[in-house]
């Protein structure tokens, strides 16, 4: 697993879920309290994301990926703020 974490800010939830669905490896949501939720589970997505949502968007999140390709996708999503780059893949 990659030791790096991607820090996401001001994320649109439906677009984020679309990118998560395209990930091939395990993706974990890390909280400031040290909790780690596996976002490949829809239940964990609901539990984890509801605690981070402010005004319909994710205010802040730390993501850790098993595969570097997934880490790259989520980094690009954070940079461009939408999943439009997925159509080019």
Cα angle, residue 20 at apex, residues 75 and 52 outer, rounded to 5°: 80
pTM of the model: 0.75
Sign of the Cα torsion 38, 73, 75, 11 reads negative
Supply the pLDDT for residue 31. Answer: 73
Supply the pLDDT for residue 86. Answer: 67
Tokens for 87? 């159509």
Q: pLDDT confidence of 35, banded at 50, 70, 90? A: confident
Taking phi over 0 as left and psi of -120 to 50 as alpha, with beta for the rest, 10 belongs to left
Supply the pLDDT for residue 23. Answer: 92
Report the pLDDT averaged over residues 61-88. 82
**CA separation for the pair 44, 76 (Å, rounded):** 23
């Amino acid at each position: 697993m990659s030791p790096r974490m991607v820090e996401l800010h001001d994320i649109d939830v439906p677009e984020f879920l679309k990118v998560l669905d395209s990930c091939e490896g395990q993706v974990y949501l890390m909280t400031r309290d040290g909790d780690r939720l596996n976002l490949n589970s829809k239940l964990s997505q609901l539990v984890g994301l509801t605690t981070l949502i402010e005004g319909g968007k994710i205010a802040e999140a730390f993501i850790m990926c098993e595969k570097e390709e997934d880490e790259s996708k989520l980094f690009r999503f954070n940079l461009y703020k939408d999943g439009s780059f997925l159509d080019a893949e």
